[in-house]
Amino acid sequence: YNVYRSELMDGTYRKINTTLISQGVTSFVDDHVAPGVQYYYYFTVVGTDLKESEPSGVAMASAQDTTPPVLSHAAVNQAPQGAAISIVANVYDNLGVSFVNLYYRVKGTTEYSCVPMYGGAGTSNRYTATIPAGVVTEDGVEYYIEASDGRQSATMYSAASPRSIRTYEVYTITVV
């Protein structure tokens, strides 16, 4: 037998076994695949004259996605009290991003609020969300970001170890 693979159902198939597969062998492991990518396979029977039969039916398989998203973010260190804070993250994944969430809370409290980060349309990997102004108090704000591709996830900071934003009061000086 010979086994052939393509990344497209109607694409070009290439033989992937390096030696003939013996009669009676009922499985073949393709260990040269990318995580999560769909591949199409067929096999042929090789006769004693070394001529190959017509291809079998096509089967589809994909290796489990073992690659988590890659998340990068320029930390926000400080913000004026009472002003909304925009949080931006860049998220890349080998297959695609399912969701990106921003978790935030007033520093010193226990419960996080969660909002989806939007973006990533087309070829952009940039996601944004806003921490509402009402949360930006003199106590400060803590946050973390989570991204997922549907199977694997990645975080920037965490619930147990969030990023802290120091807040400052804004004064207005009037000159007469």
| Beta carbons within 10 angstroms of residue 146's beta carbon | 21
Which residues have CB under 8 Å from 82's CB, separation 6+?
A: 133, 136, 137, 170
Enumerate the β-bridge partners of residue 122. Answer: none
Helix (H, G, I), strand (E, B) or coil at 135: helix
pLDDT tens per residue across all 176 residues of the chain? 999 999 999 999 999 999 999 988 988 899 899 887 899 999 999 998 999 999 999 999 988 888 899 999 999 999 999 999 999 999 999 888 999 999 999 999 999 999 999 997 766 899 999 999 999 999 999 999 999 998 899 999 999 999 999 999 987 788 87
| Look-up of token digits 């009061």 | 169
